[in-house]
Chains A and B, each alone.
Chain A
Amino acid sequence: MYTQGLDQKGQPERTRDALETPEQLEAFQARVDAEEKIEAKDWMPEAYRRTLVRQISQHAHSEIIGMQPEGNWLTRAPSLKRKAILLAKIQDEAGHGLYLYSAAETLGVSRDQMVADLLSGKAKYSSIFNYPSLTWADIGAIGWLVDGAAIMNQIPLCRCSYGPYARAMVRICKEESFHQRQGYDIMVELCKGTAEQKAMAQDALNRWWWPSLMMFGPSDRDSKHSAQSMAWKIKRFTNDELRQKFIDVTVPQAEFLGLQVPDNECRLDQKTGHYTHGEIDWQEFIEVIKGNGPCNKQRLAKRRKAHDDGEWVRDAARAYAKKHAAKRAA
């Protein structure tokens, strides 16, 4: 999920790259071309390492921040069943964040550093989580669309050339299908309900459709990381290819619900077999990435507060461990 390949300010300088010989780079590319997995201690180009650290940590941050829009509805879930399901889903997101931080740490970046970068606003996370979850139907739309887009993105990442990332993605993909289904299940129930409930479902689709399409990242025309990431087999498909796949599977799902995606240009092209779509508002995308989305400030403020409020727990655990280690030593 959430691998929009966003740029980050203050990237490390390219000093170490200069020490890499063409022979090393060629040998590395040959391993990648042969579909060998690259493991943590293997030699790798600095740029490969940097790309992965950026992508995996952004992915992890997205999982962590992604708990907020859904957490917003935990205490107002319409039934105990829905509440238990939502709680389990949100706990999974935390777990996904941890798998991914763990994978990123194998590349030599510390957990504390990644957390510090998120809290300072230096690191990016997926644009999608800067939109508000206004009604219960949004919880349905998030599971169906946001997790649906995530699955589209993540399945090819299971074959990523970097072993620890690929393995984390296998684990995540196994869990993700539950997330999407519980969301669609909410939508089905709302669409079978009263006219008002169905209108809520349509409203949620209207607001989440375009931001979900933006989750695949910039158009191929403007995606600066794509070509190199494809050559390194970090990415297997371009942003636009994945976006098209998502549209093709999702539009019929909306039709089944009796809902319409909010795009007048969306229709099945009989010649290509694909759905067409209107132009994405890239200006909105850029603004959200820059920090000017509807909820950017709120999301970061909440994460900082949670981090600060949890400090005494981290300190207490450390003090307890220290005390017992001293006892054992005595």
Chain B
Amino acid sequence: MSDKEWPLYEVFIRSKSGLSHRHAGSIHAADDQMALDAARDTYTRRQEGVSIWVVRSSEIVASDPAESAAFFEPAEDKIYRHPTFYEMPEGVENL
């Protein structure tokens, strides 16, 4: 049965122009166009979006949560990236 299952697509919706697309869920569809149509019918029945992206779930490359400590470690010791790292002298304004 499972070789007959339509591919899985992840659905991303831009709720209004100016905002970024946001993951909404997933749907199964036979091809890209049908995936868009199904995503519209499933996730935007109340005008929740002005734009939809669909992407085959198998095409998404994700980081591994179990490795996240090591993966994000390089950013940990760079506290000088934050403005609060710098103490501004008394009397200087607008910085």
Instruction: List the B side residues contacting A321 at CB < 8 Å.
Output: 30-31, 34
B95 within 8 A of A: no
Do residues A41 and B65 form an inter-chain contact, with CB atoms below 8 A?
Answer: yes
Knowing A102-B25, A102-B26 touch, does A112 contact B1 (C-beta < 8 A)? yes
B75 vs chain A, min Cβ distance (A):
20
How many pairs of residues, A versus B, come closer than 8 Å at their CB atoms? 61
**Which residues of chain B in 1-53 are interfacial with respect to chain A, using CB atoms and an 8 Å cutoff?**
1-2, 4-6, 8, 24-31, 34, 41-43, 45-46
- Which of A4-12, A68-76, A237-245, A312-320 sits within the interface? A312-320
**Which residues of chain A in 75-120 are interfacial with respect to chain B, using CB atoms and an 8 Å cutoff?**
88, 91-92, 95, 98-99, 102-103, 105, 110-113, 116
Give B63's nearest chain A residue, CB to CB: A41
B66 within 8 A of A: yes
Q: Mostly helix, strand, loop or mixed at chain B's interface? A: mixed
Instruction: List the A side residues contacting B25 at CB < 8 Å.
Output: 98-99, 102-103, 164, 167-168, 171
Do residues B34 and A95 form an inter-chain contact, with CB atoms below 8 A?
Answer: no
Do residues B65 and A317 form an inter-chain contact, with CB atoms below 8 A?
Answer: no
Do residues B27 and A318 form an inter-chain contact, with CB atoms below 8 A?
Answer: no
Do residues A42 and B4 form an inter-chain contact, with CB atoms below 8 A?
Answer: no
Which one of A91, A116, A320 lies within 8 Å of B31 (CB-CB)? A320
Instruction: List the A side residues contacting B46 at CB < 8 Å.
Output: 175
B61 within 8 A of A: no
Instruction: List the B side residues contacting A111 at CB < 8 Å.
Output: 5, 8, 28
Do residues A98 and B42 form an inter-chain contact, with CB atoms below 8 A?
Answer: yes
A19 vs chain B, min Cβ distance (A):
15
B83 vs chain A, min Cβ distance (A):
28
B79 vs chain A, min Cβ distance (A):
24
A282 vs chain B, min Cβ distance (A):
36
Do residues A39 and B65 form an inter-chain contact, with CB atoms below 8 A?
Answer: yes
B59 within 8 A of A: no
B62 vs chain A, min Cβ distance (A):
7
B64 within 8 A of A: yes
Do residues B42 and A314 form an inter-chain contact, with CB atoms below 8 A?
Answer: no
Do residues A116 and B1 form an inter-chain contact, with CB atoms below 8 A?
Answer: yes
Do residues A110 and B34 form an inter-chain contact, with CB atoms below 8 A?
Answer: no
Do residues B62 and A318 form an inter-chain contact, with CB atoms below 8 A?
Answer: no
Instruction: List the A side residues contacting B27 at CB < 8 Å.
Output: 98, 102
Do residues B64 and A41 form an inter-chain contact, with CB atoms below 8 A?
Answer: yes
Instruction: List the A side residues contacting B66 at CB < 8 Å.
Output: 43
Instruction: List the A side residues contacting B31 at CB < 8 Å.
Output: 317, 320-321, 324-325
Give A318's nearest chain B residue, CB to CB: B30
Interface centre among B29, B31, B66 (most CB of A within 10 A): B31
Query: Residues on A close to B: CB < 8 A?
Result: 39, 41-43, 88, 91-92, 95, 98-99, 102-103, 105, 110-113, 116, 164, 167-168, 171, 175, 314, 317-318, 320-321, 324-325
**Besides A95-B42, A98-B25, A317-B6, 13 new A-B residue pairs in contact (Cβ under 8 A), listed by A number:** A41-B62, A43-B65, A95-B43, A111-B8, A112-B4, A113-B2, A171-B24, A314-B4, A317-B29, A318-B30, A320-B31, A321-B31, A321-B34
Pairs A–B under 8 Å by Cβ, sample size 10: A41-B64, A95-B41, A99-B42, A102-B26, A111-B8, A167-B25, A175-B45, A318-B30, A320-B31, A321-B31
